[in-house]
Amino acid sequence: MKKLLLCGSAVLALALSSCSSVAPVPETIAAAPATVAAPAKPTVDEARAFLAAAEKEMAEFSQRASRIAWVQATYINDDTDWLAARSGSEGVQLAVRLANETKRFEGVDLPQDLARKMQTLRAGITIPAPTGAAVADELATITTRLESTYATGKFDLDGQTLDLDGLSDIIESSRDPNKLKAAWEGWRTVSPAMKGDYARMVEIANEGARELGFANVAEMWLSNYDMPPEAMEAEVERLWSQVEPLYKELHCHVRAKLNETHGDAIQPKTGPIRADLLGNMWAQTWGNIYPLVGVKASDPGYDLSKILVSRKYDEEKMVRTGEAFFSSLGFAPLPDTFWKRSMIKKPADREVVCHASAWNIDDEDDVRIKMCTQINAEDFQTVHHELGHNYYQRAYNKQDYLFRTGAHDGFHEAIGDFVALSITPEYLKEIGLINKVPPASADLGLLMNQALDKIAFLPFGLMVDKWRWEVFRGEVTPAGYNDAWWKLRQQYQGVAPPGPRPADAFDPGAKYHIPGNTPYLRYFLSFVMQFQFHKAACEQAGWTGPLHRCSIYGNKEVGQRFNAMLEMGASKPWPDALEAFTGTREMDGSAIEEYFAPLMVYLKQQNAGRQCGW
């Protein structure tokens, strides 16, 4: 969790009011004209003093709120839910008061740094609330209840009571379509209870957004990218157009292989793919079905998950290996408090939020991760991702409080994944996990494995917030929530549910980021930018081979340039931060095309004669 007040915490959803700072002058009486002096225009110094005081107050509140949120996430019960809701309400009211005061400075010609801070106070908000303690309390209670409902959800299957982890294990490993369908539908029995709360939350949040001067929450979210909302929405579609052809070829190949495995009755040769067959509870990554769809003649010769288990890796060793990668780039070791205070193993004695996340409790050095680590290749990658947040948090901790976050939210998500792209066979050999590097003939298998996670994710990363934009704009009402969700999933992903959905279904709520109110566009952007960062880093390192073979492990010169970008935080517009490391000012999907170029050739060959699309 990056900054509770400003970066996506459900319990501290913020709100601002658009109250005018100057009351209208009443009509004067002709017989006794009155002169009303206009209030003096605030000065730049007054704006600077206001922001300094606001940052001090927010920093003090954030420390307390962060600790409450940490306890609630790692020890869920009625009492911690109550504390989180109370803290969230206080955070809303603090934000409302400070945001109202920013209205005084509208029209003042402020220096860039002060103007950025004012904009952050006004628009750097996840779920706003209108003015008033009662509605702030209601919003905080709803958001806490949504997250707790998700975190404690369970379903009885075959005589066992299973939580998300247990049901996900079935989706990831089973090849029985009936069992997959039962587990998939079982998890989605948790979310219908959220629908009423979610609809009410949307009402409150949109009212708060309107008080801020935005048409709705969708416009507010899209206002945080240093460009007009409509321009950012167009930018997203431009990036998608760059990577869509590769996704469509991958989809076509995977569908054909699933048809070979399951037959026409389960997975037809044409149309969308049945979502429960793709090895992930949300069909957002497909790596778990590699044995069914992979390149059999291009076996890399090792299974990282099995190697980690055989080498007796435990949860701490997984994380220490990730730390060692960052250390090889020149970053200082994590503090002792990280190891004492993080939750890297699922407790056996209480309910927790297992969804992996990174935290900075004091916005300085108290960095932590929270995850129910499993000893497998997927969590080996996840560890690097979460640590990327922590190293970013430490890099910008000398910035002013309001700049202690990513250049935009996609940066924060891209950092660790960019580093994880260097988990190549060469790297695994260097740290002793494999004995020899597979030959070039194994590259197609490695690229297919990457694509099943990285490329398969792209349309899902895009459509989650497209659904929320439609909801916040009022284009989709509660009665149509589920139909709109599946319309977008089919449009962008080409996937469909395994059977008809119940009338009360609220399948969006079965994905953590919906009840957790975490904007999702950041992940789509990060999946584009991590390859852009990777290409720039490999060029800096002087790498001349195939992009997918490059690892920057041990390159301290690249690490220095990387850290220089991280240290900027949000103090400059994101194109400045991007340029500092990559030399370009535009997000670009061409690095993805280059990275997967050999796989694209293979997929087109495999798909010759197949009817692609859906």
- The residues carrying an active-site annotation are 386, 513
Q: What angle separates helix 164-173 from helix 177-187, to the nearest 10 degrees?
A: 150
Map tokens 């048809």 to a residue: 259
Contacts of 447 (CB under 8 A, 6+ apart): 548, 595, 596, 598, 599
| C-alpha dist (Å) from residue 67 to 307, 351, 384, 405, 477 | 37, 17, 24, 18, 36
Name residue 611's amino acid.
Answer: Q
Hey, which bits of 445-576 come out as E strands? 495-496
Map tokens 């990387």 to a residue: 562
Q: Take residue 456 and report the two structure tokens written for it.
A: 């398969």
CB 470 within 8 A of CB 508: no
Neighbours of 436 (CB within 10 A): 9
CB 522 within 8 A of CB 410: yes
What values do phi and psi take at 360, rounded to 5?
-130, 100
Catalogue the long-range contacts made by 228-235 (C-beta closer than 8 Å, 24 or more residues apart): 235/587
Q: Take residue 422 and report the two structure tokens written for it.
A: 């260097």
Map tokens 């110094």 to a residue: 45
Task: Determine the number of helices (DSSP H) and then strands (DSSP E) in the chain.
Answer: 23, 6
Neighbours of 17 (CB within 10 A): 20
Closest Cα to residue 364, out of 387, 335, 341, 406?
335
CB 366 within 8 A of CB 360: yes
Helix ranges (DSSP H) in 103-176: 112-123, 133-151, 164-173
In SS3 terms, 387-447 reads as HHHHHHHHHCCCCCHHHCCCCCHHHHHHHHHHHHCCCCHHHHHHCCCCCCCCCHHHHHHHH
Contacts of 45 (CB under 8 A, 6+ apart): none
Give the Cα separation of 214 and 15 in Å (integer): 12
Helix (H, G, I), strand (E, B) or coil at 188: coil
Give the Cα separation of 286 and 227 in Å (integer): 34
Positive or negative, the Cα torsion across 74, 506, 176, 609? negative
Give the Cα separation of 594 and 547 in Å (integer): 7
Map tokens 């370009």 to a residue: 584
Give the Cα separation of 290 and 285 in Å (integer): 11
DSSP 284-350: S--GGGHHHHS-GGG--S--HHHHHHHTT--HHHHHHHHHHHHHHTTPPPPPHHHHHH-B-S--SSS
Q: Take residue 127 and report the two structure tokens written for it.
A: 């779920």
